[in-house]
């Protein structure tokens, strides 16, 4: 697999896609953190409310302004569908995914951006396994490690954290890629398609404060099996 490179450009705008589903207690705080982080770029925030029914929509209505755009799905469709909607709305020449549950801290954005603005990489992932973190539940830890191992075996990569939320892209990497996954299988799909296009993924350490199921964590062991199936399917499908 040959490594692709892109012509060096001066990046001006970072689009941040925030998929949200029933995060009434955390979404205002994550937007506050997003607004206060300092990066040398214009920040374009696109929040996609994926059919929330817990009052999240009211919180978003109160915080939407010229710096934060809110797009709403009438019904819940899944994280992948929300990100797909966000990608259609994103204006930046860089694109970052930011979960709304406070597990990931926007204070880590400068770490993610550094390799890209220095033209060392076109895709950067934040690894939860190489930085400061609150320990995961054993089942989640094992599942994440297995999925990264399978990714490396199928795609000749050396990722430590394929399932990380923090994925940052030069927008041109995504050109021509069609995302079809609606749920958490977005993570293996985008990773598979980026690797198959010949882009090597740069990893940087990030902090992580994982939630427990009783705190609202939505991903389950069933999503792990879906991710495994997606990794195999997208390894051999012809269409990107």
When pLDDT is cut at 50, 70 and 90, the band that residue 227 belongs to is confident
Q: Check: CB of residue 206 under 8 Å from CB of residue 112.
A: yes
Residue 206, Cα to own-chain centre: how many angstroms? 13
Q: Check: CB of residue 36 under 8 Å from CB of residue 59.
A: no
Q: Check: CB of residue 186 under 8 Å from CB of residue 94.
A: no
Does some domain include residue 5?
A: no
* Max CA pair span of the chain: 48
> Which pLDDT does position 206 carry in this prediction?
95
Domain housing 224: 13-236
Residues in the chain: 240
CATH number at residue 92: 3.90.550.10
Does some domain include residue 3?
A: no
Does some domain include residue 1?
A: no
The more confidently predicted of residues 196 and 144 is 196
Does some domain include residue 8?
A: no
Domain tally, the chain: 1
When pLDDT is cut at 50, 70 and 90, the band that residue 143 belongs to is confident
Does some domain include residue 154?
A: yes
> Which pLDDT does position 97 carry in this prediction?
97
When pLDDT is cut at 50, 70 and 90, the band that residue 132 belongs to is low
Does some domain include residue 7?
A: no
| Residue 23 to residue 16: CA distance in whole angstroms | 17
Q: What is the pLDDT of residues 163-206, one digit of tens each?
A: 999 999 999 999 989 999 998 899 999 999 999 999 999 999 99
CA neighbor of 87 nearest in space, from 160, 2, 3, 193:
193
């Amino acid at each position: 697999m040959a490594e692709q490179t892109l012509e060096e450009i001066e990046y001006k705008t970072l689009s941040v896609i925030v998929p949200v589903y029933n995060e009434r207690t955390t979404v205002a705080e994550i937007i506050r953190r997003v607004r206060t982080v300092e990066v040398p770029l214009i920040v374009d925030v696109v929040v996609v409310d994926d059919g929330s029914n817990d009052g999240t929509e009211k919180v978003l209505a109160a915080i939407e302004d010229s710096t934060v755009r809110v797009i709403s799905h009438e019904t819940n469709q899944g994280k992948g569908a929300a990100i797909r909607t966000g990608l259609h709305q994103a204006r930046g020449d860089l694109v970052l995914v930011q979960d709304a549950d406070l597990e990931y801290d926007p204070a880590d954005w400068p770490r993610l951006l550094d390799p890209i603005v220095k033209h060392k990489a076109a895709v950067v992932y934040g690894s939860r396994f190489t930085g400061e973190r609150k320990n995961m539940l054993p089942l989640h830890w094992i599942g994440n490690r297995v999925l990264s191992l399978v990714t490396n075996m199928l795609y000749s990569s050396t990722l430590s954290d394929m399932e990380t939320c923090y994925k940052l892209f030069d927008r041109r990497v995504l050109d021509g890629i069609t995302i079809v996954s609606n749920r958490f299988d977005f993570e293996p799909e985008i990773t598979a398609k980026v690797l198959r296009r010949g882009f090597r993924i740069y990893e940087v350490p990030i902090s992580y404060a994982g939630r427990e199921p009783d705190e609202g964590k939505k991903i389950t062991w069933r999503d792990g099996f879906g991710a495994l199936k997606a990794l195999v399917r997208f390894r051999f499908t012809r269409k990107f």
